[in-house]
């Protein structure tokens, strides 16, 4: 993920920046003493003694407060201490004293990003690029900030430029792939994930994201192979196993899917989604007792997940346990009353129990929320026919016929229309 890899580069880029900033000479310093404190601070900084480095830089600044390099290094020491507010002040002071240094603006932007000042970070990084457009770190960082803001379209050209300037950096291709992926440009994203992998960085996260893109395109064999490679590289990562399980599930390889979800649960027993996926898989294997057990465990872990209630309701419905189905469908609706599917499922349960007024109300709510649901119109027609409402039934069947996408449903609606019209 971008944030994860950015941390790696934050460490490296700071050292690049430190070496790139013009070093002071004793002749240019306001005093030999200030310069000596500065040099002592640099040594302490390189030894990762950041508290002592701060003290040394502050002594230098007391003697020569107009030197931007001293303020920049003080900011760097505060940044390493994760005292970002003080780092921000020091970087701003360095920029105010010498706005021509691209690295000052770059590190100011990084600090602003850490403090959540994203618009300011963008402006600082853009200034750094204006001063030094050929630095791939700058473009990657700006792309990462824009990505974090959800501005994927703007992030893409920054990552592309970073790739152009340093084509062998796998992380840049990975970041570009993620931005493209989030725009739904899956084919382009796949090419960039593959380029990242060819760069020599066989990172399991690259494979995981690549597998996800393949999955979205229903390229299931390729998705499965990428997930399997990720699992081999990181067998203790439950999310990779979950992804592989989902691919097996889509391929209707339920035994293999169940094994993946069970392994994921062992690694992360508090993750409700893994139990939910295991429940779906056991249901596919017609192991309804195990499916119910998995769904109930998912609900125990996450009672606010509406779809879990709907899914176990469907399980009860398929077993003709309509009273139990009604209870859980109502719980799903208590969490989200605007979901047409939940109302439809509740209507069907009431209908089977011959609770026709309740079923009628739920069919009507379904249609209000989703006027394109042909099945809701069809079964509304069935209900109206059962209660002797011929004209209303005809109207409902005709709408179902017009809206039906499945040939079988269209044929059923047409048959009902002819029956009623012949009376």
DSSP state of 217: T
The first and second tokens of residue 397, run together, are: 């069947």
Instruction: Answer for the pair 247, 215: CB distance below 8 angstroms, yes or no.
Output: yes
Q: At what angle do helices 136-148 and 2-20 cross, to 10 degrees?
A: 140
**354: how many CB neighbours lie within 10 A of its CB?**
9
CA–CA separation, 55 and 37 (whole Å): 9
Tokens read off for 235: 């067998």
Question: For the segment 161-201, what is each residue's pLDDT rounded down to a tens digit?
Answer: 999 999 999 999 999 999 999 999 999 999 999 999 999 77
First to last CA, the chain: 65
User: What single DSSP character describes residue 115?
Assistant: T
Closest CA to 312 of 297, 331, 330, 325: 325
For position 16, what pLDDT does the model report?
38
Whose structure tokens read 């201490």?
81
Measured CA to CA in angstroms, residue 22 lies from 17, 100, 158 at distances of: 10, 12, 27
CA separation for the pair 89, 111 (Å, rounded): 10
User: If you ran DSSP here, which 8-state letter would residue 100 be given?
Assistant: T
Look at residues 84, 75, 78 and name the one whose alpha carbon lies nearest to residue 50: 78
Which pLDDT belongs to residue 174?
98
Contacts of 174 (CB under 8 A, 6+ apart): 5, 192, 193, 196, 203, 205, 206, 209
Tokens of 233: 């590289």
* DSSP assignment string, 296-331: HHHHHH-TT-HHHHHHHHHHHHHTT-HHHHHHHHHH
Rounded distance between C-alpha atoms, residue 46 and residue 160, angstroms: 33
pLDDT of 376 reads: 98
The first and second tokens of residue 101, run together, are 């240094």
**Is residue 200 classed exposed, middle or buried when 0-12, 13-18 and 19+ CB atoms within 10 A define those classes?**
exposed
Two tokens, residue 282: 């056991």
Please count the other Cβ atoms lying within 10 Å of the Cβ belonging to residue 371: 12
Residue-level length of the chain: 423
Q: Where do the H-state alpha helices sit in 217-253?
A: 220-233, 238-250
For residue 270, give the 3-state DSSP assignment: coil
CA distance 343 to 71: 63
Residue-wise burial string across 214-234, b where 16 or more C-beta atoms lie within 10 A, e elsewhere = bbeeebbebbbbbbebbbebb
Q: CB of 92 within 8 A of CB of 61?
A: no
Report residues of the chain scoring pLDDT below 70: 1-30
412-419 contacts at long range (C-beta below 8 A, 24 or more positions apart): 412/378, 413/374, 413/378, 413/381, 416/378, 416/381, 416/382, 416/385
CB atoms within 10 A of CB 277: 23
As given in the structure block, the two tokens for residue 220 are 């299931």
**Alpha helices of 98-151 — where are they, by DSSP H?**
102-114, 118-131, 136-148
Give the whole-angstrom CA distance, residue 406 versus residue 408. 5
User: Which pLDDT score, from 0 to 100, does residue 22 have?
Assistant: 45
């Amino acid at each position: 993920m971008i944030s994860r890899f950015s941390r790696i580069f934050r460490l490296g880029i700071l050292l690049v920046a430190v070496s790139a900033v013009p070093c002071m000479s004793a002749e240019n310093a306001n005093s030999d003493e200030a310069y000596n404190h500065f040099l002592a601070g640099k040594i302490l900084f390189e030894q990762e003694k950041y508290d002592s480095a701060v003290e040394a830089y502050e002594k230098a600044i007391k003697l020569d407060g107009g030197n931007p390099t001293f303020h920049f290094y003080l900011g760097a020491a505060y940044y390493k201490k994760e005292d970002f507010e003080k780092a921000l002040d020091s970087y701003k002071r360095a920029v105010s004293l010498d706005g021509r240094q691209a690295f000052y603006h770059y590190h100011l932007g990084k600090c602003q990003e850490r403090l959540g000042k994203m618009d300011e970070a963008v402006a600082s990084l853009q200034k750094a690029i204006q001063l030094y457009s050929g630095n791939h770190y700058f473009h990657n960082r700006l792309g990462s900030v824009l990505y974090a803001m959800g501005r994927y379209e703007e992030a893409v050209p920054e990552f592309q430029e970073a790739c152009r300037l340093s084509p062998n950096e796998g992380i840049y291709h990975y970041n570009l792939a993620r931005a493209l992926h989030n725009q739904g440009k899956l084919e382009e994203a796949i090419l960039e994930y593959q380029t990242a992998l060819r760069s020599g960085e066989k990172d399991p996260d690259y494979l995981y994201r690549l597998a996800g893109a393949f999955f979205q395109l229903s390229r299931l064999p390729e998705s499965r192979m990428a997930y399997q490679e990720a699992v081999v590289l990181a067998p203790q990562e439950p999310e990779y196993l979950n992804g592989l399980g989902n691919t097996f599930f889509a391929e209707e390889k339920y035994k293999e899917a169940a094994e993946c979800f069970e392994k994921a649960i062992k690694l992360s027993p508090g993750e409700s989604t893994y139990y939910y996926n295991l429940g779906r898989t056991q249901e596919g294997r017609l192991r309804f007792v195990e499916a119910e057990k998995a769904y109930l465990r998912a609900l125990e872990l996450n009672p606010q997940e509406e779809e879990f209630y709907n899914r176990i309701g469907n399980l009860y419905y398929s077993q003709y346990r309509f009273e139990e189905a009604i209870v859980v469908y109502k719980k799903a609706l208590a969490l989200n009353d605007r979901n047409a599917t939940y109302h439809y499922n509740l209507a069907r349960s009431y209908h089977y129990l011959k609770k026709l007024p309740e079923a009628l109300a739920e069919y009507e709510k379904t249609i209000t929320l989703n006027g394109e649901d042909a099945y809701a119109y069809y079964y509304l027609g069935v209900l109206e026919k059962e209660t002797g409402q011929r004209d209303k039934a005809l109207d409902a069947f005709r709408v179902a016929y017009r809206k039906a996408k499945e040939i079988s449903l269209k044929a059923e609606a047409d048959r009902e229309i002819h029956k009623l019209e012949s009376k």
